[in-house]
Structure formats: structure tokens, C-alpha cells
């Protein structure tokens, strides 16, 4: 069985090879930049920067647009809200409290562009970084906060084990479903309560199995001398390369440019 | 030098019963054993004999309740020794899926050394070496989940090797593997042992134990037999008493000795047996095969017509699981279905009750195309029962009774009928009334499985398909389940299709054997006919029974024996005649 988790798009690009820390920080910086931008010049700059990164990442634009599908409803809703409820002086059409104005339309377009840019920007991160790299990156970024009690290593370890076991449990669920179907179980008909009840023969075995697996895995980890983050090393330490510094520099220049546009020209 | 030394080792499991009282269960009971460095020792014993508990002591995963165990000279109950002990005695477990931590092979192997604080450059070197050692270097960037069972276990072994251990303890590492995977793992272990690593192998497979330097048999938490494989298995009666198997040739030699043929009593392999029989003067007689057993196939109950199934059709992952399979299974037959992993046998059985849909062809049950009418699906699934691999994993109810009643309830039967069916099915699998109100989760592995089988039997199917019902069980539970299957097949007249990796299991009870290879039918005939093609079976990666292999080898040397013999008793008779010239 072949189950992909997240939406990683495997290819060999400059963006794919970047340090996950840079990509995670970059995504946050980009989102900040989108919020800083106020006028169309700022949005244009953000769009161009995203286009440049997408081009470098070799991820097909179709996949990026596909990432917008789940939030289509939100986009439409935001647009409608802004068009109808923004008070503006150049009213074009009015019906009760619903009012369409030039300012409203402009705001709606801006908000929509902002939303689309943010979603597409973060999609580049998940499309170009494996879930495991993401957790490693997070672990490194959270390390400084360990002193104030953030369990960085534990969070990362739990996440990566969860990622590792998702396909296993999906497969298991499929097997249990088939087995109960063979015993005459019916999961597709009946009212809401009946359907919820019909899940018991699926969920109980799944949980029992998950606990059993957790138990065995814990033992296997202990047997291999796992003792948390004590005196632990890594085979692949994250080390910043020339390209990572370049990327960081490019990001800072971009954010700075957006900031200047906003502060100096107010656009 | 002694690597493991236990001194009056005792271990009690403590659990709470329903009254919240502590119940102690003594798993290891005064065990004294010494394992020298560099030895390959196989530990045998039925389930509950304490062998796994012992294994966990070597890795300090469990600490003795009483007595003492030292590993590499270190006392395991001293807390400061724990990490040194775990580094020097690595452990591999039964279920490959539940001991893999990472999503990339390389990182999986690096996990151990990372925990030990080994510098990254050194880890990389160790990962490389370990991968080469288990012959898996080409998979370094694969996802472990995409590998076969045998490959996964070799990755687990590599993960231990990267910690530079002196000893590897393996707790039934081959129980969930097919014959090919089993061979891969055992060959790896033999290779590592040659490099000086102590191997402690817990297993149910006697052919694996035969390869060890030493065999230790556990019973009720004690060491009851200890010696070289030859010393152990020559005690045929005693070993059988302990609910363990004896290699078929050893048993055959034992039977022939009882008839007065002078053979040594410590024969373990087919090669040894062939040599000894030649020495004993097997003549080039020409014993005619016995008359055809005249098996007639009963009236067809379920059949497939040109069945083809393709996974991931029209994608890059497209793979043909079944091509053009046409078989006819008669009413009341007991069919053995065999084939290596990926031969299409699992796909085939899922078609028989419409859990999988054919891409081409049809499945007919009593002449009715089961995929032709969706409203009849429920009825089809009632008429063709399917027991999956490890069926105990689908138990979910609070009591054994309720769990078995799940199927009949879904059929909408009334309470009296449900009660009757539950009782009958539990009886058919040999579970007495005292278990009815117990939680299925409290039962032993073999019992859970029998309850799960009863759950499908309670649907009163006409055809019952069992997918590897004996996988992972010890010889005793295995024989019990096979006995149950044979019995309810005979008593209730159910048509049974039994999927198995083990030719020896199937050959004893099946009317006909269906051999699948690469999605097609290779053979479909009586056991005698199928096992006369020993060479072809070996070629497609299946283990023919030892007796068939022996007959084949003798015939290659010109003994002129019938080719269709696969069980010890017939072989004994035929060989006796050939050796002495006396009938019977």
C-alpha cells in the first residue's frame, strides 16, 4: 500500500535541499511580509518573490493551486464579507445593509490575495520538505527554549514516531474493516447513532493494537539504549551551507524591501 | 569466557485480577544456564515456557525477582550497568513493524549509536558497515515500511550491529516471516556468528535450531534439555513430550530403527539421511508407485473463471496480482492453498467473498456470480466466511460469548439461535463453557485465535477460508488449531480453504493443494501429485516437506522409489521394503 503523508513532492531542487530551519523561518518571515504589505506594489513584490521560489523549487504550479482547494470556501466567504459589508463612500449598489462600494471591492481583492499568498507560501514549505525534516528543523529551532521547559526533543520524537506509524495504522484499520465486514458488519447504512455504534468493532481493535504496538516499540527503543535526550548525537547534524546563508540573505532583503515600501511610500 | 551466566534466576509477572488482588505468575523458575562467548545457541520451548522472559533479562529489560544474571560479567540488577549491558547484548524482536522507529533505513540503523552518543562521522561509518553486513546496502535510502518482512528483520539486526554488540538476542525473529525471509535472516545470523558474535536465537522452528551449536529447551521456566542439536533431537519421544517438533528425517530414522534397521540415532539433515541409507544398503529396487488414490472431485461449490486482478490499474504502481485464474472447488473439500508472499494467494481469497472485485473474470458460488447483485453481498459474505491472518486482532467485545455472537447478530437472528450458534462454534474450536464470560483479551495467543475463528464459524458459512491460521504459534497451539480445522471440516461438512506457508502442515490434512506462483495457478492436485514435483516447488521458493526432498535426493542417486511420498509413515514403509526386500 502506498500512502503519502502531508504533501511532500519529491524532486531535487535548490529549495528541497535547503536547511529545514531556513525554510521554516523563511515561511514565517514571508507570512509577516504579506501582512506588512499594504498596497498593490507590496502584494506584487510578494507575488513575484513567491513565483521565484516556486520556480526554484520545481514544484508544479498545479500542485500549489491544488493546495487552495480545501480553503476555497473560506476565500469565497472572505470575499463576500468584504464586498458587502465594507462601508465606502463610492457606493455602487445598495440593498438594506448590503452595500457594494469601490473601496469594498478593493479591500476584498486585497484580502483574498493575502490569503492566497499565505496559503501558497506555506504550501511551498510542506511540498519541499519531508515531514521528518520538518520535525528535525522544529527540534533545532525549539532547542533554545529548552531552558524554560519546552521539551523540544520529546516533541520531535513523538511527532516522528506518529508519522512513522500513521501508514501502519491505516493499513491495520483497513484490515480490521475487512475482517468485520466478513463477519457481516455494516458501516455504511443506518442513522447517525447506528453508524457511530458500528464503529466500535473497528475502533476497539485499533486502539488495542495501537497500545500493543506502543508497548513493543517502547521496549525496542529501550533495548537500543534510548533514554531521552541524554548524551544523544545525530547522524545528520543540521549544518548551514553556503546556499542556506544565501537564502537567508535573499529573504531578509525581500522583507526589508516590503517594509520600505510600506514605511516610505505607504503602499 | 562466559557471556551470559544465570544463577537460580527467578522471575514473577504480577498482574491484577478482577478483585484487584495481585496474582503472581512464575515465568522463570530457578534457571541456571551459562552461555559462552561466540556460541550460537537456539532456545526452544512452547509458549509460556519462560524463554522470552529469559531473553529480556539478558538485555536488562526485566530484572530478576530472585537469583542473579550476569551479562559480559556485569550484574543486570546494578543500575549503572544497564547501558553497557544493552550495548553489548542487542535485542531483535518478533514483530518487525513494531521495532522500526525511523522512516528511512539509514536513520533507523543510526538510532542505536545516536543514543550511545557516538560522533556523527563514526555513526555514518557504522551504518555503512552494518548495511553491508546484512547485505542491504542498496536499500539505505528506502522507507523500511516498503521492505519485505525478511528485509525488515535484517534492518533490525543491522540496527543492533551498529551498536557494536558482543551478542545478539533474537526473540522469535522469524515467526512472522515466509520461508524466503526466514532463510535470509538465518543466513545473516550464521554469517555474524562466524565473525565472533554470540547469537541467542529463540525460535519455534526446528530446522533453525538444527543449525545452532547448542540447543536449550525450556519448560515451565526451567532448563530441561541442553546439548548439541544431535544430542537433543535423538531423544525423539522426550522432545515430542515437550510439545516440540522433531525434524522429519530424524523421526523417519527413529521409526526405521524401531523396525530394526541399523541407522544412527542422531540424523538431522536430508544429506546425512541419504548417506546413511546408502550405507545401510538401499537397493536399486523398482517399487511401483501405489495405485492412484482415485480421488474424485465432488460437485463444484465455488469457482473462479479467468479471474484477473490488477492493483493500481492505470497508474505507475500497476501490478498484476492475479492473472487468468480458473479453479473449481468441490463441496466439502479441504483445500490447502500455498504460495510465497506476493504470489496472489491473499488477493485470491479476498475475491471469494467479494471483499475484492475482479478486474476481469467471475467468481461463482453455486453457479451464482457473486458480484452480479449488490443486494446479495451480505448473503455471499455469510456463505463464504473469511478468517484473516492474526484474526485475534479483530476481537473487541467484553466477553468471549459476545464477540462470537457479533456475526450472528449482524445476520439478524433471534437470541435462541444466536446462543445455539455461539455454543456450537466455540465447541468446534475446543473452547469450553468456562471461557464464555471471560474477556477475550485475557486469553492466551492460541485461545484468542480459536475464539476469533469461532466468530466466523458462527456465521455458519458453507465455505470457510483461513489465511495462515497457524502463523506465529508454537507447535502445540499449531497442532491444536489444525486439529480443530480438520475436525469441524469433517463434522460439519464445511468446505475449507486453508492458506499456509508450511507444506508440512497442509500435506497432513488437505484433500487437494493449490500452489500459486506469480498470480497464476502452478499446481492444483492431490498432495501426492503436487509433492512429486519437488524440484519445481523449491524453484518457486517453497519449502517442500523434508520427506519429499529426501525421496527426491535418493531417486537422483538411482534408488527408484516412488516420487509421491511426503509423510513419515509411508516413507518408512517404502524404505523398509527397499532396504530389506521384505513386504511390510
For chain A, the domain total comes to 2
**Domain membership flag for residue A149:** no
Q: What's the grid cell of residue B575? A: 524404505
Nearest CA in chain A to B387: A179
Nearest CA in chain A to B92: A220
Question: Considering CB atoms only, which of A176, A205, A233 is closest to B117?
Answer: A233
Question: Considering CB atoms only, which of B103, B317, B455 is closest to A132?
Answer: B103
CB spacing of A233 vs B120 below 8 angstroms? yes
Task: Give Cβ neighbours of residue B279 (< 8 Å, ≥ 6 apart).
Answer: none
Question: Considering CB atoms only, which of A163, A167, A176 is closest to B393?
Answer: A176
CB spacing of B388 vs A234 below 8 angstroms? no
CB spacing of B90 vs A219 below 8 angstroms? no
CB spacing of A225 vs B120 below 8 angstroms? no
**Domain membership flag for residue A33:** yes
Residue entry with cell 467479494: B354
Predicted confidence at residue B284, as pLDDT, reads: 63
Nearest to B550 by CA among B211, B258, B273: B273
**Domain membership flag for residue A66:** yes
The whole-angstrom separation of Cα A8 and Cα B90 is: 35
**Domain membership flag for residue A141:** no
Query: Does A252 lie in the same domain as A121?
Result: yes
Query: Does A175 lie in the same domain as A118?
Result: no
Query: Does A245 lie in the same domain as A214?
Result: no
Query: Does A250 lie in the same domain as A176?
Result: no
CB spacing of B115 vs A204 below 8 angstroms? no
Rg, C-alpha atoms of chain B: 26
Q: What backbone phi and psi angles, to 5 degrees, belong to B323? A: -130, 120
- Whether residue B147 contacts residue B341, with contact meaning beta carbons closer than 8 Å, is answered with no
Angstroms from B468 CA to nearest CA on chain A:
14
Nearest CA in chain B to A236: B120
The whole-angstrom separation of Cα A254 and Cα A117 is: 15
Looking only at the bridges linking them, the beta strands covering B334-338 and B167-171 are unpaired
pLDDT tens for chain B, 584 residues: list them.
799 999 999 999 988 877 788 888 899 999 999 999 999 999 999 888 999 999 999 999 999 999 999 999 999 999 999 999 999 999 999 999 999 999 889 999 999 999 999 999 999 999 999 999 999 999 998 888 889 899 999 999 999 999 999 999 999 999 888 888 899 999 999 999 999 999 999 999 988 999 999 999 999 999 999 999 999 999 999 999 998 999 999 999 999 999 888 888 889 999 999 999 888 877 666 666 556 667 888 999 999 999 999 987 777 678 889 999 999 999 999 999 998 888 899 899 999 989 999 999 999 999 999 999 888 888 899 999 999 999 999 999 999 999 999 999 999 999 999 999 999 999 999 999 999 999 999 898 889 999 999 999 999 999 999 999 998 888 889 999 999 999 999 998 999 999 988 888 888 899 999 999 999 999 999 998 898 898 999 888 888 888 999 999 988 888 788 888 888 888 998 888 888 877 65
Long-range contacts of B558-562 (CB under 8 A, 24+ apart): B558/B284, B559/B282, B559/B284, B559/B285, B560/B284, B560/B285, B560/B286, B560/B287, B561/B285, B561/B287, B562/B287, B562/B288, B562/B289, B562/B290
Which of B98, B143, B467 is the best mutation test for A, with the most CBs of A within 10 A? B98
Predicted confidence at residue B116, as pLDDT, reads: 95
Angstroms from B427 CA to nearest CA on chain A:
19
pLDDT tens digit sequence for A208-219: 999 999 999 999
Residue entry with cell 491484577: B16
Query: Does A22 lie in the same domain as A72?
Result: yes
Reported ipTM? 0.88
**DSSP string for residues in B187-234:** HHHHHHHHTT-EEEEE-S-HHHHTTSSEEEEEETTEEEEEE-HHHHHT
Nearest CA in chain B to A224: B112
CB spacing of A205 vs B394 below 8 angstroms? yes
CB spacing of A185 vs B106 below 8 angstroms? no
Angstroms from B356 CA to nearest CA on chain A:
10
Give me the domains of chain B, ranges plus CATH numbers.
2-241 (3.40.50.300), 248-291+561-580 (no CATH), 300-525 (3.40.50.300)
Instruction: Give contacts of B410 with chain A, Cβ < 8 Å.
Output: 183-186
Which of A203, A224, A227, A228 is the best mutation test for B, with the most CBs of B within 10 A? A224
Angstroms from B7 CA to nearest CA on chain A:
22
Query: Does A216 lie in the same domain as A258?
Result: no
A2 pLDDT more than 60: no
CB spacing of A180 vs B394 below 8 angstroms? yes
- Chain pair A-B, CB pairs under 8 angstroms: 151
Query: Does A87 lie in the same domain as A115?
Result: yes
pLDDT tens digit sequence for A85-105: 777 777 777 887 778 888 888
Nearest CA in chain B to A198: B410
CB spacing of B115 vs A178 below 8 angstroms? no
Angstroms from B555 CA to nearest CA on chain A:
45
**Domain membership flag for residue A140:** no
Query: Does A244 lie in the same domain as A114?
Result: yes
- Whether residue B357 contacts residue B478, with contact meaning beta carbons closer than 8 Å, is answered with no
Nearest CA in chain B to A211: B98
Angstroms from A137 CA to nearest CA on chain B:
16
- Whether residue B347 contacts residue B309, with contact meaning beta carbons closer than 8 Å, is answered with yes
A135-149, A185-199, A236-250: lowest mean pLDDT where? Answer: A185-199
Query: Does A119 lie in the same domain as A28?
Result: yes
Question: Considering CB atoms only, which of A183, A208, A216 is closest to B459?
Answer: A183
Question: Considering CB atoms only, which of A205, A219, A225 is closest to B393?
Answer: A205
A105-114, A241-250, B82-91: lowest mean pLDDT where? Answer: A105-114
Q: Is the pTM here over 0.90, yes or no?
A: no
Which of A159, A165, A179 is the best mutation test for B, with the most CBs of B within 10 A? A179
Nearest CA in chain B to A161: B101
By the 10 Å C-beta count (0-12 exposed, 13-18 middle, 19+ buried), B432 is classed as exposed
The whole-angstrom separation of Cα A24 and Cα A12 is: 19
CB spacing of B353 vs A182 below 8 angstroms? yes
CB spacing of B90 vs A224 below 8 angstroms? yes
**Domain membership flag for residue A193:** yes
Angstroms from B460 CA to nearest CA on chain A:
11
Instruction: Give contacts of A224 with chain B, Cβ < 8 Å.
Output: 86, 90, 111-112, 115, 159-160, 163
Q: What's the grid cell of residue B106? A: 539509514
Give the range of the structural domain holding residue A48, as residue numbers without chain letter: 14-129+239-265
Element holding B488 (H helix, E strand): helix B475-492
Instruction: Give contacts of A178 with chain B, Cβ < 8 Å.
Output: 350, 355, 388
Question: What is the SS3 assignment for A258?
Answer: helix
**Domain membership flag for residue A6:** no
The whole-angstrom separation of Cα B513 and Cα B337 is: 6
DSSP letter at A51 equals: H
Question: What is the SS3 assignment for A41?
Answer: helix
Query: Does A121 lie in the same domain as A33?
Result: yes
Nearest CA in chain A to B124: A235
A5 pLDDT more than 50: no
Task: Give Cβ neighbours of residue B532 (< 8 Å, ≥ 6 apart).
Answer: B548, B563, B564
Instruction: Give contacts of B111 with chain A, Cβ < 8 Å.
Output: 221, 224, 226
Which of B83, B109, B115, B349 is the best mutation test for A, with the most CBs of A within 10 A? B115
CB spacing of B115 vs A232 below 8 angstroms? yes
Query: Does A199 lie in the same domain as A251?
Result: no
> b/e map of B383-419 (b: 16 or more CB within 10 Å)?
bbbbbbbbbbbbbbbeebbbbbbbbbbbbebeeeebe
Predicted confidence at residue B287, as pLDDT, reads: 63
Angstroms from B538 CA to nearest CA on chain A:
28
**Domain membership flag for residue A136:** no
Query: Does A178 lie in the same domain as A88?
Result: no
Amino acid at each position: 500500500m502506498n500512502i503519502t503523508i502531508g504533501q511532500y513532492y519529491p524532486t531535487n531542487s535548490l529549495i528541497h535541499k535547503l536547511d529545514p530551519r531556513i525554510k521554516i523561518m523563511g515561511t514565517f518571515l514571508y507570512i509577516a511580509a504579506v501582512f506588512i504589505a499594504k498596497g498593490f506594489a507590496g502584494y506584487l513584490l510578494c507575488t513575484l518573490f513567491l513565483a521565484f521560489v516556486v520556480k526554484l523549487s520545481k514544484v508544479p504550479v498545479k500542485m500549489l493551486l491544488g493546495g487552495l482547494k480545501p480553503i476555497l470556501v473560506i476565500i469565497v466567504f472572505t470575499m463576500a464579507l468584504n464586498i458587502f459589508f465594507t462601508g465606502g463612500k463610492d457606493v455602487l449598489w445598495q440593498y438594506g445593509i448590503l452595500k457594494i462600494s469601490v473601496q469594498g471591492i478593493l479591500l476584498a481583492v486585497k484580502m483574498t490575495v493575502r490569503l492566497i499568498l499565505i496559503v501558497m507560501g506555506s504550501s511551498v514549505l510542506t511540498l519541499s520538505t519531508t515531514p521528518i525534516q520538518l520535525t528535525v528543523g522544529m527540534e533545532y529551532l525549539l532547542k533554545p527554549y529548552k531552558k524554560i521547559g519546552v521539551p523540544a526533543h520529546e516533541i520531535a520524537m513523538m511527532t516522528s514516531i506518529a508519522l512513522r506509524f500513521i501508514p501502519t495504522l491505516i493499513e491495520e484499520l483497513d484490515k480490521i474493516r475487512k475482517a468485520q465486514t466478513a463477519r457481516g458488519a455494516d458501516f455504511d447504512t443506518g442513522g447517525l447513532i447506528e453508524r457511530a455504534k458500528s464503529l466500535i468493532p473497528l475502533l476497539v481493535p485499533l486502539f488495542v493494537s495501537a497500545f500493543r504496538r506502543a508497548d513493543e516499540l517502547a521496549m525496542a527503543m529501550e533495548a537500543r539504549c534510548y533514554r531521552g535526550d541524554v548524551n544523544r548525537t545525530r547522524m545528520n547534524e543540521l549544518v548551514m551551507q553556503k546556499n542556506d546563508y544565501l537564502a537567508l540573505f535573499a529573504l531578509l532583503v525581500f522583507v526589508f524591501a516590503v517594509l520600505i515600501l510600506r514605511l516610505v511610500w505607504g503602499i | 569466557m562466559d557471556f551470559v551466566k544465570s544463577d537460580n534466576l527467578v522471575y514473577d509477572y504480577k498482574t491484577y485480577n478482577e478483585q484487584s488482588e495481585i496474582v503472581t505468575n512464575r515465568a522463570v523458575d530457578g534457571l541456571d544456564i551459562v552461555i559462552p562467548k561466540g556460541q550460537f545457541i537456539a532456545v526452544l520451548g512452547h509458549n509460556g515456557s519462560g524463554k522470552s522472559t529469559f531473553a529480556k533479562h539478558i538485555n536488562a529489560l526485566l530484572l530478576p525477582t530472585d537469583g542473579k544474571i550476569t551479562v559480559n560479567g556485569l550484574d543486570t540488577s546494578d543500575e549503572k550497568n544497564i547501558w553497557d549491558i544493552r550495548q553489548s547484548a542487542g535485542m531483535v524482536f518478533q514483530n518487525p513493524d513494531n521495532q522500526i522507529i525511523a522512516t528511512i533505513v539509514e536513520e533507523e540503523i543510526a538510532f542505536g549509536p545516536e543514543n550511545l552518543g557516538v560522533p556523527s562521522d563514526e555513526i555514518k561509518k557504522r551504518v555503512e558497515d552494518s548495511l553491508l553486513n546484512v547485505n542491504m546496502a542498496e536499500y539505505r535510502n528506502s522507507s523500511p515500511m516498503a521492505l519485505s518482512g525478511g528485509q525488515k528483520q535484517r534492518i533490525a539486526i543491522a540496527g543492533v550491529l551498529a551498536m557494536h554488540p558482543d551478542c545478539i538476542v533474537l526473540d522469535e525473529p522469524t515467526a512472522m516471516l515466509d520461508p524466503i525471509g526466514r532463510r535470509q535472516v538465518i543466513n545473516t545470523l550464521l554469517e555474524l556468528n562466524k565473525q565472533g558474535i554470540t547469537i541467542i536465537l529463540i525460535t519455534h522452528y526446528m530446522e533453525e535450531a538444527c543449525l545452532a551449536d547448542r540447543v536449550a529447551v525450556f519448560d515451565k521456566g526451567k532448563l530441561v534439555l541442553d546439548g548439541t542439536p544431535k544430542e537433543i533431537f535423538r531423544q525423539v519421544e522426550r522432545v515430542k513430550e515437550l510439545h516440540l517438533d522433531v525434524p522429519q528425517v530424524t523421526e523417519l530414522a527413529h521409526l526405521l530403527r524401531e523396525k530394526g534397521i541399523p541407522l544412527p540415532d542422531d540424523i538431522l539433515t536430508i544429506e546425512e539421511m541419504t548417506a546413511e541409507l546408502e550405507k545401510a544398503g538401499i537397493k536399486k529396487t523398482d517399487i511401483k508407485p501405489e495405485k492412484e488414490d482415485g480421488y474424485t472431485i465432488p460437485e463444484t461449490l465455488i469457482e473462479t473463471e479467468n479471474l484477473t486482478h490488477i492493483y493500481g490499474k492505470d497508474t505507475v504502481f500497476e501490478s498484476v496480482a492475479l492473472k487468468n485464474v480458473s479453479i473449481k472447488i468441490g463441496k466439502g473439500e479441504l483445500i490447502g492453498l500455498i504460495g510465497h508472499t506476493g504470489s496472489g494467494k491473499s488477493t485470491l481469497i479476498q475475491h471469494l467473498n467479494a471483499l475484492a472485485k475482479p478486474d476481469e473474470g467471475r467468481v461463482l458460488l453455486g453457479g451464482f456470480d457473486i458480484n452480479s447483485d449488490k443486494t446479495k453481498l451480505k448473503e455471499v459474505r455469510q456463505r463464504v466466511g473469511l478468517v484473516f491472518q492474526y484474526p485475534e486482532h479483530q476481537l473487541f467485545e467484553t466477553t468471549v460469548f459476545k464477540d462470537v455472537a457479533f456475526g450472528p447478530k449482524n445476520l439478524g437472528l433471534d437470541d435462541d439461535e444466536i446462543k445455539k450458534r455461539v455454543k456450537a462454534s466455540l465447541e468446534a474450536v475446543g473452547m469450553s463453557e468456562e471461557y464464555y464470560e471471560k474477556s477475550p483479551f485475557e486469553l492466551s495467543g492460541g485461545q484468542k485465535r480459536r475464539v476469533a475463528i469461532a466468530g466466523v464459524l458462527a456465521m455458519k458459512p458453507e465455505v470457510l477460508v483461513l489465511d495462515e491460521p497457524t502463523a506465529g504459534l508454537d507447535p502445540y497451539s499449531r497442532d491444536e488449531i489444525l486439529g480443530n480445522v480438520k475436525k469441524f471440516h469433517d463434522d460439519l461438512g464445511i468446505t475449507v480453504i486453508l492458506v499456509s506457508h508450511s507444506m508440512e502442515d497442509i500435506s497432513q490434512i488437505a484433500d487437494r493443494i493449490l500452489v500459486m506462483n506469480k498470480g497464476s495457478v502452478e499446481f492444483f492436485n492431490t498432495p501426492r501429485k503436487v509433492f512429486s514435483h519437488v524440484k519445481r516447488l523449491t524453484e518457486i521458493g517453497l519449502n517442500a516437506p523434508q520427506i519429499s526432498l529426501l525421496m527426491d535426493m535418493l531417486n537422483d542417486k538411482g534408488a527408484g522409489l516412488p516420487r509421491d511420498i511426503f509423510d513419515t509413515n509411508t516413507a518408512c514403509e517404502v524404505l523398509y521394503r527397499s532396504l530389506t526386500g521384505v513386504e511390510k
